[in-house]
Structure 1
Amino acid sequence: MHQILGAAGLVALVAVFTVHGYEGRRIGQVLLLFAPAVLGLLWPVRNTLWHRLRQALAWVWTLIFLVDGAVRGLLADLYGAAPDSSLVLGAIANSNPRESGEYLHAVWRSVLVWVLALIGSGAAAWWLVRWAGLANSARWPKSVVMALCVALLLVSLGYASKPWRRHHPIAFWTQWMFSIQQLQQGLANQQARREAALARAHALAPTVQVAGHSTVVLVIADSINRDNMSIYGYKRATTPHLASQLRGLDGEMLMLRNAWSVDASTLPALGNIFGFGQPDAQDAQHLLAVARAAGYKVWWISNHDDLGIEQQHARVADIQDFANRQPGRTSSSLDGELLDNLQRALADATPQKLIVVHLLGAHPHYRLRFPAGQNPFDDESDAVDQQLQTQGRPSWVRRFRHDYDAALLYHDFVVSETLALTRNARSVDGYAAWVYMSDHGQEVGHGRNHAGHSPLSASGYRIPMLLWSNQPSWQKDQGIATRPFRADWAAWTLANVMRLTWPGQTMSNDVLSEAYVWSKPQLPIVVDSFER
């Protein structure tokens, strides 16, 4: 009887981890794939050597399933994502060992919980394996042996099914590593894709409908949630410079109040922004390639050191200017370092210029996104901190919120300076425009006890978007400011701002157009309203 109880305990232990890592009928399938370990322990064995060998194999087999469930559970808790999701695959393929270590440092609390659970469960599994696998000095009754044979037959059917078999941890993680290698090779070999994108752009035959000089600056931030910007109603004064710009340039500036990303991480977000919402389509266009084909000289000025971004987007530009050569989350390169680079690009005599400025924004670690000692929000408790306490947010979340808001305050200065430089450098008779947006949002204790990228809450998708032009094509009385906006449609709006036209161009995705037609994006969360 002790063998049966030990085996049942082993199944229960693995089931706990499996439930955290899988959903629905997949739980039963994975437990069936685990069954050989249990059946091997229950099968009558008299030889002492074989008895010890099967105990060791059963314990290792159990650990494999426990680790699989723990990794899946951790990813589900943090991001609501499976290991083979594009979010996770893209992040792993685009990381280096140093950045991985920095990421683990940022989420060490969650990792520690699962590691401790694994250590305790591993010890319990060894005890259960020894208890269930005690040498059988007597033969099992024929009925028990028949039951074991039937069970082995069912398990064999499960392993014979490829859709089931591929979920075995050994098969899954082997394929997972192969997928990572393929993705990394794809990221490192983008030259052919860039050339194809330029060829497609030239075939589109775009033109610039501007008489004289045209200068457009596109500022893309990282991890900025508009809910933390005072210009969007936040209670802390995190955007005083932009607020001043909005007041002084009322007729030339436009703030979209209901802007959303459809991605919660950078690589897919940028792919959608520049790829007209269909970056993986066979005939996909790239906005920078279209701009070049129309006659724009394109700059990519970046504070990121990122292989994926560089290969997929930056190298499409004519000129790449990377100010930051320190990869990873611990990069201390401040976005203000890009202002001189922007000024040099604006001074270029080229008549048609598109300058993309890619900022680190408020990408974790937040405390590294502003100058040391310049956090005015951690000195005393204010209305925001009191609200967080009322909501039951732990102290570490409140501390991250203080750092995040300080990062936004410095970010406000940098973004405002990019606008001031654009306005001051423009030709008297030329056309000039400036656009500011973020790739995705950030959760910092808004809807859950979490600080960082978040596909599980609306905060991960709320972004700011502001536009300025000395010859604006919009009128505020048209109600454009309150229209909901999707970042995966941004290319159509940016094409409008650059005055790009081409045969067959559609305007229904351009938020500035009278022909704009809104439709809700498919997000992995439920959003009550896209108009707030």
Structure 2
Amino acid sequence: MTTRPSPPRNALPACGVVGATLLALIALGHDGRRIAQLAVLAAPMVLWLAWPLRSTQMRRLRTLLVWLWAMGFALDGTVRAYLLDTYQAAPDSAMVLGAAANTNAREGTEYLWMHWRSAAVWCAVLAVAGTLVGMFARRGAMAPSARPARWAVALLALLLLAACAAYASKPWRRLHPAIFWTQWANSVHTLRSAWADQQTQRDRLMAQARSIAPVISQAGPSTVVLVITDSINRDNMALYGYGRPTTPRLLAHRAQTGGQMAVLKNAWSVDASTLPALRNMFRFGLPDSDNPPHVLALARAAGYKVWWISNHDDLAIEQQHARLADVVDMVNRTPGRASASLDGEILDCVQEALQDASTDRKLIVVHLMGAHPHYSLRFPENANPFDDDVDAVENGLVKDGRSAWVRRFRQEYDAALLYHDFVVSELLQQTRTAGKPGDYRAWMYLSDHGQEVGHVSDRAGHSPSTASGYRIPAVVWRNRQPLPTAEAQQQPFRADWTGWALMDLLHIQWSGQRPERNVLGGAYRWQAPQIPVAVESFSR
């Protein structure tokens, strides 16, 4: 009886270890049947290790090619796993594509510097995988002393046939890392190109606004200031009951102004990143299919002169929104998270706009950095009164098991809010004292989205996966006409409906008004938004 020889020694362990390593990383970044699809796509080069080669040079070449092939799949799985863990997002989601298209190399480096701990963990995972693959890829089959068993040949043939079928299928083939990430880069480039060619879109929006023919219902001078900030979570504002004195000036304004100032207690963003949040604010929270007008275009068509004064250097925001204004003043021209331009730099520019004598109807949009990471750059040097202060907030974070670095970020974040309180309060004071005593003036303040700084998880930064990423402040002041009652101010408010309230503050009437979405009106009716996190109640 003849016994068939076994496959060459070390060939099967090599295939097994390399395949198992790849499968583990694929499973981290994918789910469901996609794990099987990626495994089949990765199979051919792994199976090559079982094919005997006589030449030493060919074996070395095989080792290199298998390692490069495997690391392509490993890197794909690792990046996807990081995005899922941090943002609950896929790389081809609108949020990730928008962020990538709106990020330069410098800002990318600064992002990694802030999140180096998470990056280090995933890089370590990738390094371990690379080491394992490198060690075992060298142990592929050499020239056999006898013909391999038929079952081994049949198994290899079956697996290769499945791989061929996978590559013949476009839905499967496009999941391959080389194809997927090439298409991903093309998508980012296309998005950037679309942003760079926005003049046609702006002309269309202005023409649309003129055809709507909005009218101003109140005679006389009118000045409205809209303050949009970045990454402010209302849970960290003393104005909303926070334990640290982060907003003493806004509290003083509320005491001074009485019924002229409304603090919307339960304000929410419906987006956890800036670009979609601003799009919703200025396009009335309507989908593109409804062809919504732009708030700034409507204001200009009605007769307002519009300013956009910004401490952001952001190409997408400038092209999509700012350039619709009559006057654009981009104070900060240093892009990236490491920009140290403080929001106070815009105060003189706003004062100049308020004193402009060329018109008696003004809409001034102010876009602040707020508490956008890095938090330590959002307040002046040596202006952190919460640094190493063991108070009730610090003790609460310790009790909740927050790490030392998250507690340090919370101190810096609260210091940023204290400086932010100074800037926002100055803007309110400038608005209150602008023009003649009898002139109509209004001011609205809100954040584009929130921020997670140890509130419900041990991390700091943008957070589409927790409610903290959506909890924002919203405050309205005007010197005439009643604001919502104290009871009405407890109603939830959603930031994508900001445009409807702003039209009220501007006294603009037009055919598309929806009174039930105007939080300042008596017909307001709350409707809960769909956000990708579970919220027990929007009323707290």
TM-score, with structure 2 as normaliser: 0.96
Question: What corresponds to 1:444 in structure 2?
Answer: 453
Quote the offset at 1:308 in angstroms.
0.8
The amino acid across from 1:455 in the alignment is P
Q: Distance in 1 between matches of 2:419 and 2:315?
A: 26
- Given candidates 306, 311, 320, the residue that maps to 2:314 is 306
Of the three residues 126, 129, 132, the one matched with 1:124 is 132
Residue in 2 that maps onto 1:166:
174
* Change in CA separation of 1:473 and 1:137 when aligned onto 2, cut-off 3 Å: farther
Deviations 1:282-326 (A, max 9, x none): 623111011111111000011111111111111010000111121
For residue 177 of structure 1, report the CA deviation from its aligned partner: 0.7
Residue 279 of structure 1 and its aligned partner are, at CA, apart by: 6.0
Amino acid of the structure 2 residue aligned with 1:505? Q
1:243 to 251, 263, 270: 251
Report Cα offsets for 1:152-203 as digits up to 9, x if no partner. Answer: 1111121122111111100000001100110111111110111111111111
Question: Is 1:278 aligned to residue 282 of structure 2?
Answer: no
Whichever residue aligns with residue 196 of structure 1, its letter is R
How big is the alpha-carbon RMSD for the aligned residues of Structure 1 and Structure 2?
1.5
Equivalent of residue 215 in structure 2, options 185, 207, 219: 207
Equivalent pair of 2:52/2:142 in contact (CA under 8 Å): no
- Equivalent of residue 12 in structure 2, options 4, 29, 45: 4
Question: Equivalent residues in 2 for 1:94-493 (5 A)?
Answer: 94-278=102-286, 280-281=288-289, 283-349=291-357, 350-476=359-485, 479-493=487-501
Q: Which residue of 2 aligns with 1:519?
A: 527
> Using the alignment, how far apart are the partners of 2:254 and 2:437 within structure 1?
22
Runs (5+) with no aligned partner, structure 2: 1-8
> Match of 1:445, as an amino acid?
G
Aligned-residue offset at 1:492: 0.9
Rounded to whole Å, the distance in 1 between the matches of 2:265 and 2:274 is 21
Confirm or deny: 8 A CA contact 1:210 1:431 kept in the other structure: no
| TM superposition shift of 1:507 | 1.7
For residues 60-75 of structure 1, the aligned pairs below 5 Å read 60-75=68-83
Q: Which runs of 5+ in 1 are unaligned?
A: none
Residue 58 of structure 1 pairs with residue 66 of structure 2: yes
1:73-88 counterparts in 2 under 5 A?
Answer: 73-88=81-96
Alpha-carbon distance, 1:48 to partner: 4.3
State the Cα distance separating 1:457 from its structure 2 match. Answer: 0.8
Instruction: Describe the superposition over 1:401-456 as per-residue Cα deviations: whole angstroms up to 9, x where unpaired.
Output: 00000000010111011111101013333211000000000111111111111111
Task: Determine if contact 1:44/1:140 at 8 Å carries over to the other structure.
Answer: no
The 8 Å contact of residues 310 and 346 in structure 2, kept in 1 or not, is answered as: yes
Does 70-79 or 481-490 show the bigger shift? 70-79
Deviation of 1:85 after TM superposition, in Å, equals 1.3
The 1-side partners of 2:388 and 2:120 are apart by 30
Deviates more, 1:256-265 or 1:158-167: 158-167
> Is this contact kept in 1: 2:83–2:91, CA < 8 A?
yes
Distance apart, 1:21 and its partner CA: 0.9
Deviations 1:384-408 (A, max 9, x none): 0111111111111011000000000
What secondary structure, in the 3-state scheme, does the structure 2 residue paired with 1:236 have?
coil
Q: Comparing 426-435 with 329-338, which one deviates more in the overlay?
A: 426-435
> How far apart, in 2, do the equivalents of 1:174 and 1:260 lie?
36
CA contact (8 A) 1:336 1:414 kept: yes
C-alpha distance in 2, partners of 1:285/1:437? Answer: 21
**Are the equivalent residues in 1 in contact too, given 2:59–2:138 (CA < 8 A)?**
no
Q: CA, structure 1 residues 161+453, in 2 after alignment: closer, same or farther (shift >3 Å)?
A: same
Secondary structure at the aligned position of 1:251 is classed as: helix
Structure 1 distance, partners of 2:501, 2:451, is 24
Change (3 A) 1:154 1:211: same
Structure 1 range deviating more: 511-520 or 489-498: 511-520
Deviates more, 1:1-10 or 1:103-112: 1-10
Q: Percent identity?
A: 54
- Deviation of residue 208 (structure 1)? 1.1
Letter in 2 for 1:400: F
| 1:38 equivalenced with 2:46 (yes/no) | yes
Distance 1:108 1:475, change over 3 A: closer
Could you list the per-position Cα deviations for residues 126-174 of structure 1 after superposition, in whole angstroms to 9, with x for gaps in the alignment? 1121224444343212222122111111111211221111111000000
Cα separation, 2, equivalents of 1:308 and 1:259? 25
Tell me if structure 2 keeps the 8 A contact 1:55–1:133.
no
Partners in 2 of 1:279 and 1:324 — Cα distance?
31
**1:502 shift after superposition:** 0.7
Question: In the TM superposition, what is the alpha-carbon distance from 1:267 to its structure 2 partner?
Answer: 1.0
Q: Deviations over 1:236-280 (max 9, x none)?
A: 010010011111111111111111111111111111111111364
Q: Deviations over 1:330-354 (max 9, x none)?
A: 1111111111111110111211100
Taking structure 1 as reference, are residues 278 and 504 closer, same or farther at Cα in structure 2, changes over 3 Å only?
closer
**1:66, distance to aligned residue in structure 2 (A):** 0.8
* Post-superposition offset of 1:496: 1.2
Contact kept in structure 1, 2:28 and 2:81, CA below 8 Å: yes
Instruction: Give me the whole-angstrom Cα distance separating, in 2, the residues matched to 1:241 and 1:338.
Output: 18
Whole-Å Cα distance in 1 between the matches of residues 143 and 137 of structure 2?
12
**Bigger Cα displacement from structure 2, 228-237 vs 371-380:** 371-380
In the superposition, relative to structure 1, how do residues 137 and 427 fare at CA in structure 2: closer, same or farther (>3 Å)?
Answer: farther
**Between 508-517 and 100-109, the greater mean CA deviation after superposition:** 508-517
The whole-number CA distance in structure 2 between the counterparts of 1:138 and 1:199 is 80
The letter of the residue matching 1:422 is: T
The total of aligned residue pairs comes to 531
Residue 30 (structure 1) shift: 0.9
Task: Provide the C-alpha distance between the structure 2 equivalents of 1:205 and 1:281, rounded to a whole number of angstroms.
Answer: 21
Equivalent residue, structure 2, for 1:498: 506
Q: Alpha-carbon deviations, 1:72-94, whole Å to 9, x = none?
A: 11222221111111121111111
Separation in structure 1 between the aligned mates of residue 384 and residue 122 of structure 2, nearest angstrom: 33
What code does the residue aligned with 1:139 have?
R
